[in-house]
Structure formats: structure tokens, C-alpha cells
Amino acid sequence: MFFDTHSHLNLPQFEADLPSVVERARQNKVSDILVVGIDPASNRKAVRIASEYKLWAALGLHPSDIETDNPALPGIKELSPNDRVVAVGEIGLDYTCAVDHSRQITAFRSFLEMAKNLGFPVIIHSRDAAEDTLSVLRQAGPTKGVWHCFSGDVKLAEEVLDLGLFVSFTANITYRKNEALRQAVVAVPLERLLLETDCPFMPPEGRRGQRNEPANIPLLAKAIADIKQTDIAEVAEKTYNNSCGLFLKSGTGT
């Protein structure tokens, strides 16, 4: 079985055929999918989708949507008791957006503290902000979570692992120009690695320009197996167990 640890099935790209998308995923042995929120509306929709389809939800606020110096994580008080909510995220830093860096850092710190108080792992977004992301995490102390959509080099991967975090890869590892990213895959042991689509974004090589979806997770697993010179069954087993161990209190999926 496979676990897609980062999807955006709550975005408009999936409104027309969501039942078919979920069914295709399950036909491809993707038994568990985490639907990740990025703002108040998508948080509510993530919980609704997770409840209806027996998936999982995360409550987050993308850095580009931070509007005040001390934002509350949208909807967490109302939605976190739902037994399908398993994480806080995505949260973090994105220096490609217009939001002031200091405001992003202040919000990131508050979200990390909130997640710890609630007992949730975090899903970390970091884009063009690796050093500040690492700095905030080091100051926060031991943090349970994952650095999602990893796009750095081996050195950054090692620093993330040193913090005790999991590292999650998407199908951008299949893109021809991303040899440095494939070297990072080599550096991350399977025991600390997760799979994600980040759909509808990041489709695999050969499907670029198409909408990505959870059914493509086995293609990502096969690419990782090839890079690590192992078999897809081992990648599936270890990443599934990692995902359940991080996000699910029972330690088992669905």
C-alpha cells in the first residue's frame, strides 16, 4: 500500500471528478491520502473531503496568505477535534511571495508552538528560505514533522535529518534537470522518507502539463526505488509505515 502524504484535493482542479480521483488512487494501491489546507476555506474543505472519503486532513496557512502579525491558524479550534485531522500544515516560509519575511517568521514560530501544544506533527513549506526555516526550527527545539516537497541539495537534506524531521519527495525527482535532487534522495534513508504528489502540481516526467493526482504515487515510488537500487515493494512498505507512524496515532492507515 501507498500513502500520499501531501495532496490538495481541496483545490478547484478536483471539483468536477473527485470521486473518480479517489477511486483511481485506491485502484493503484494508494490507500491513504492526506488532504492539506492552505487557508480557512481549504481547511474546512479538507476536513469535509477527509470525512466523506475516509482520508486524512491537515490544517494550515500558506505563508503567502499571512495577513497579520499574529495570525491564528484558521479554523483549528473548530476543526482539530475531528478524528480525521492529523497534522498542522502546511506552514512555513516562502520568500518568493510578497509577505514580509519577519511576519512570516513570527507566524511560523507561533504555528510550531500551537502544533506542539495540540500534539500534532507539522508539515513544513520552505521555498527560497532554507536557512531561516532551519533557524526557526532549531530555536523551537525538537519538532515532529516533515519537510514537504524537498527541493534542496544533500547538505540541506542532512541538516533536515539532523533536526529529526522526515523528508518528503515529489515527482520532481523524475525531471531530467534535477540530478542534484536525486542525489538528495540517495542521502535520505528510507526510514526517514515520505512520498507525496503535492497534486495537482508536480506531475511525473512524461505527464508534465497534466494534472497530478494521488494515483501517480506508485510512479514516484518506482523512481525512488531505481535511484536507491532497491525494489518498489521495500519503498512502499517503509514509506507507508513512516507515514502512519508520523501522522496516525494508531500507527495504521485508513
What CATH number should be reported for the domain holding residue 128? 3.20.20.140
Please write the tens of the pLDDT for every residue from 156-184: 999 999 999 999 999 999 999 999 999 99
Question: Is residue 240, in this structure, part of any structural domain at all?
Answer: yes
Look up the domain containing 113 and give its range: 2-247
- Based on the structure, what is the number of domains in the chain? 1
Residue 252 covered by a domain? no
Please tell me the predicted confidence (pLDDT) of residue 249: 76
> Does residue 91 sit within a domain?
yes
CA angle 227, 185, 252 (to 5 degrees): 100
Cell of 186: 540517495
How confident is the model over 64-121, as pLDDT tens digits? 989 876 666 656 667 767 899 999 999 999 999 999 999 999 999 999 999 999 899 9
- Give 213-231 pLDDT, tens digit per residue: 999 999 999 999 999 999 9
Question: Is 93 part of any domain?
Answer: yes
Q: Can you give the pTM of this predicted structure?
A: 0.95
Domain-embedded: residue 195: yes
